[in-house]
Amino acid sequence: MGDRLRSVVTFPRRYPTSTLVAALLAGVFGFWLWRDLRSRWVLAERTRAEEALVLQDFDAARRHLDRCLYYRPDDPRLSLLAAQAARRAEDYSEAEEHLRRYQDLIGEATEEGTLELAMLLAQRGDLPQSEDHLLSCLAARHPSTDLILEALALSYITSYRLDESMKMLDRLLERQPDNVTALLSRGILYDTATHRDKALEDYRHAVEARPDNPRALLRLAVALQGLQKLTEAIPYYERLLERDPTHAEALLGLAGCRRDTGDVAAAATLLDELEVAHPDFEAGILSRGRLALLRGRLDEAERLLRRAVELRPSDYHAHHHLSLCLQAQGNESAARTHRGRADQIDRDRKELFELYPKAMRSPQDPAPRLELGRICLRNGQDREALRWLLGALEIAPGHRPTHQILADFYHERGNAERAEYHRHRAR
């Protein structure tokens, strides 16, 4: 045994050339094996990403594609697929980065890249730059018709062209009855028009079609909770937490259900978990303040609720519960101030619900959109306000009241050029 071991140890010194050749062959074989295994792994990850896109689980698709791109950063097809996944997940800045990378790698304009850019521009809010191209692709029965219908529907929602969005969603659902994005988007439109029964039907359909889709589960759970069907909502929140124990909206929603069904201890535990996982989550701060108020911890409740009002100055529940807390502490003057603000927000909310269906029923009338824009501005929702106001100008480019509101808006924010443009149009 000793002689055999000694011969093995001394072999490289006695036969250096043979040893070197063997080492090189082993290295080449190992490198080839590593590349082959890596290629197989990347291919498997890409397949999983494509399957996730079919299931419309966009976050899962993005995770698989990120792994692929780590090993294949110069693969243009992966970059294009990643751009699509990010766009459909409504992460437009990431989609733009992937698309720019794709274009740099390809080095020239391609039909696929041009179409993806048009859909990204549309969903991001730059619809005038891309609408004609997308509509022409639809007219030509482009192979990506389903993706184009989806992108146009979402872009019309963004610009509050709600009637046109509904038409696109109906067309898409005729082609793909189980399309989760279309079902959820149409459900949101029904919710906006106060057709809660139709919205709930679409959300249920989405969950039945894709039982593990996180967006469908969350939308259905939130809708059921909003209708006070708490025992029905709870299992959907729990299914989300089985997939992701730190899911912020699921922890918050389940805590609300537990609180409202009387299980205050379980609600507190869930909110503690939420605070650890997402300490700056605004809705979580508000919910913790409400629970502290319910438990009679007034100092803690006041601190949390004041923070919630600071973060969400147009939130009805933040002002309402802070007024209750201040009243319980004997601070009637401050309580009256926040109660008045809560009442104003509530009136605005009711007016919004009345105006939404008017805007849908009157796609060529700028007046409801103007009023919706005014209400959003009053409540600090600048982005939503601009969508409504610019949507009014798409319908009636010379609508003077809308131009005047926009002139005042830009003047208050120091954008003199935009303010003067709209002031001129208003005159």
Which sequence spans correspond to the domains of the chain? 36-108, 280-357, 364-427
What ranges in 107-195 are assigned the alpha helix state H? Answer: 111-124, 127-139, 145-158, 162-175, 180-192
For residue 130 the two structure tokens come to: 């891309």
Q: What is the mean pLDDT of the chain?
A: 89
Look at residue 391 and tell me whether its pLDDT is greater than 90. no
> Band of the pLDDT at 427, cuts 50, 70, 90?
confident
349-377: b (≥16 Cβ within 10 Å) or e = eeebeebbeebbeebeebbbbbbbbbbbb
Length of the chain as a residue count? 427
pLDDT tens, 47-70?
999 999 988 999 999 999 999 998
Look at residue 310 and tell me whether its pLDDT is greater than 80. yes
Mean pLDDT of 363-370: 87
- CATH architecture for segment(s) 364-427: Alpha Horseshoe (1.25)
| Residue type, position 42, single letter | V
For residue 318 the two structure tokens come to: 């933040």
Task: Identify the pLDDT of residue 11.
Answer: 52
Task: Identify the pLDDT of residue 361.
Answer: 75
Least confident of 37-41, 52-56, 295-299, 403-407: 37-41
* Cα dihedral 310→312→316→320 (10° resolution): -20
Look at residue 1 and tell me whether its pLDDT is greater than 60. no
pLDDT tens, 234-261?
999 999 999 999 999 999 999 999 999 9
Cα–chain center distance at 100: 22
Q: Which residues lie below 8 Å from residue 299, measured CB to CB, with a gap of 6+?
A: none
Task: Identify the pLDDT of residue 249.
Answer: 97
pLDDT tens, 69-89?
988 899 999 999 999 999 999
Look at residue 344 and tell me whether its pLDDT is greater than 80. yes
Cα separation of the two ends of the chain? 104
Task: Identify the pLDDT of residue 140.
Answer: 94
For residue 2 the two structure tokens come to: 């000793």
Topology annotation, domain 280-357: 1.25.40
Least confident of 15-24, 180-189, 397-406: 15-24
Q: Using CA of residue 302, residue 308, residue 311, residue 313, what is the dihedral sign?
A: negative
pLDDT tens, 188-225?
999 877 789 999 999 999 999 999 999 999 999 999 99
Closest CA to 52 of 64, 43, 40: 64
Look at residue 2 and tell me whether its pLDDT is greater than 60. no
- CATH architecture for segment(s) 36-108: Alpha Horseshoe (1.25)
Least confident of 31-35, 158-162, 171-175: 31-35
**Distance separating alpha carbons of residues 421 and 193, to the nearest angstrom:** 34
pLDDT tens, 120-152?
999 987 888 899 999 999 999 999 999 999 999
> Band of the pLDDT at 3, cuts 50, 70, 90?
low
Higher pLDDT: 32 or 416? It is: 416
